Chains A and B, each alone.
Chain A
Amino acid sequence: DTGVSQDPRHKITKRGQNVTFRCDPISEHNRLYWYRQTLGQGPEFLTYFQNEAQLEKSRLLSDRFSAERPKGSFSTLEIQRTEQGDSAMYLCASSLTAGGYGYTFGSGTRLTVV
């Protein structure tokens, strides 16, 4: 598989629960990005990694959010104590550092907090 994989595709959780999403990038891509897309809006940047280093985090990424990329390959995004406002599509993308924005996006994980 040469694409970006995200798991799960859909997640329904109760408010206050913790959730974790996984992203598997294209294997030779050293950059990995997380974006969030709410209904009717364009995706918004959350954070990105170059290899295992998390280089930037958006102000959208509150203390309840944490992302890791421990071996510079797959990444996880965890949301603690979920709130209804966290309901969104969480998109992962990967690229090469010098790729000229040659992003490949995954299909996303749709989170619904009830």
Chain B
Amino acid sequence: AQSVTQLDSHVSVSEGTPVLLRCNYSSSYSPSLFWYVQHPNKGLQLLLKYTSAATLVKGINGFEAEFKKSETSFHLTKPSAHMSDAAEYFCVRGNAGNMLTFGGGTRLMVKP
């Protein structure tokens, strides 16, 4: 089955420092990949999506992700963390029928 693996269940950074959330996907000739964010008591929000147009994808709130086929990775980065970035982040793969397969999630904590 096509899947995604988030390598860290928890990541803690200080405010103003870079963020790196890691994701690897199972090999496929043309994956559709996404990052979603989930704040407490709020719905999942799409940060960005990769659909083979460009390997560096820019999303909302200063996040971006780079698709690396040779490494089967789609890591999420942000140059400078804000307190408001503290949330759960999901790497997600699109499958047939527009269905999504979610990774296990990474909880990002931002220290003042």
Contacts and interface: CB of A to CB of B under 8 A. Distances in A.
Interface of A: 3-4, 31, 33, 35, 40-45, 48, 55-56, 91, 93, 95, 97, 99-101, 103-108
B77 to A, nearest CB: 20
B100 to A, nearest CB: 7
Interface stretch (B13-21, B36-44, B61-69, B79-87): B36-44
Contacts of B2: none
Contacts of B99: 33, 45, 48, 56
A42 B43 contact: no
A4 B46 CA distance: 14
30 contacts: A31-B98, A33-B98, A35-B100, A40-B104, A40-B105, A41-B105, A43-B90, A45-B101, A48-B98, A48-B99, A55-B97, A56-B97, A56-B99, A97-B98, A100-B32, A100-B49, A101-B32, A101-B34, A101-B49, A101-B94, A101-B98, A101-B100, A103-B44, A103-B98, A103-B100, A104-B43, A105-B44, A105-B45, A106-B43, A107-B41
Which 4 residue pairs spanning A and B have beta carbons closest together? A42-B102, A105-B44, A105-B43, A107-B43
Contact of A41 (B98, B100, B104): B104
Contacts of B51: 100
A36 B22 CA distance: 23
Nearest to B88: A42
A69 to B, nearest CB: 15
A4 B43 CA distance: 9
A103 B46 contact: yes
Given A33-B99, A48-B99, A107-B43, A42 B94 contact: no
Given A33-B98, A42-B105, 6 more contacts: A40-B104, A42-B102, A43-B100, A101-B49, A103-B98, A107-B41
B44 A43 contact: yes
Nearest to A50: B97
Contacts of A31: 98
